Structure 1
Amino acid sequence: MTLILFNKPFDVLSQFTDRGSPTTRATLSDFVDVPGVYPAGRLDRDSEGLLLLTDDGRLQARIADPRFKLPKIYLVQVEGAPDAAALDRLRTGVELKDGPTRPATVERIADPELWPRTPPIRFRASIPDCWLRLTIREGRNRQVRRMTAAVGHPTLRLVRWSIGEWTLAGLAPGRWRQA
């Protein structure tokens, strides 16, 4: 069994090919040259961080399937400064168009020491931002972004830090290692 931890950079697709696009976009094949592995779950093109790749179908299902409730920790830079009420809404579950989310664990954190993003997040002196550490146990399409927007604080930058026991610690963007 092969399990790869990959730090997916911003603007990279979570797939090995880019079919149907008139322009060539970066994909996993630009970074990972290991035959027979596939992503266990997805990470949006405009999100960064941990993506697990494996050649084991059962492991892939266990990682990606919400039934197993594997915790996923995200470092999220949001616009504004969420108050206690906004954080409590995230903690109890947010109503989205596709139904309520499961409760999340969330806390405000100091600016994390992360690599610079290319392109950088646009800084606006008149609008503050802050960082959250958000843990969810499901994985709907663009879920974290939709949750923060629902409580009035759109996501500016999203970095998945860990999935279950696997973490991004010590792994530079565009790099991978076997678990």
Structure 2
Amino acid sequence: MERWPALELASTIRHDGNGGVADDLATAQGTTRWIHQQAELLPGHVDVAELTAGEELRSEIVGLRRAVRALFAQAVSPAPPSRADAHRLMPVEQALAHLNAAAAREAIVPQLDWPTSGTPRTEVLSTERDASVRLIAALARAAIDFLSGPQREQLRACNAPRCVRYFVKSHGRQEWCKPSCGNRARAARHYQRHNATTARELPGS
């Protein structure tokens, strides 16, 4: 299954398995763990192997996530957004400004590399030495690419009970982010139909 950095960032808010919502970025330690898990998705010039998140970097990533989730909510509209933060979304104009400003924090220059006996490829040069800035800018640019690309049209908020994830629809009939959510949604619908039928059959109803 294809992974997108923007979707990975949005998915750091998730169902905790007990009816509540978990936040993978709630602590600096959790943020560091998440950053290292994204290493293979980031551009080659963004090396996070030795990066440890402090409170400032954690706060910056959380702020970027707020902007991304607000724009995800805009992308799925008029369908409802994720229930996790539907009541406190950042205004769209503010989210756009935040995302673009984050992307602009690192100046990068694409360079063409063409080995004598190889295939041409693009490399990116950056004069930014701060790994934290490179990370924030890379995550923001990844979100821009995601939201301006074809996958935006397939973005959905999972409406299964208790789920708060966004996902990219991979086939025409997909309604939920994963099979377990589909099972939960079908069970909930069956329960509701059963209760409605029982209520109609009760004396006096």
Q: Which has the higher contact order (CA 8 A, sep 6+)?
A: 1
TM-score normalised by length of structure 2: 0.24
Larger Rg: 2
Task: Identify the structure with the greater helix proportion.
Answer: 2
TM-score normalised by length of structure 1: 0.26
Task: Identify the structure with the greater strand proportion.
Answer: 1
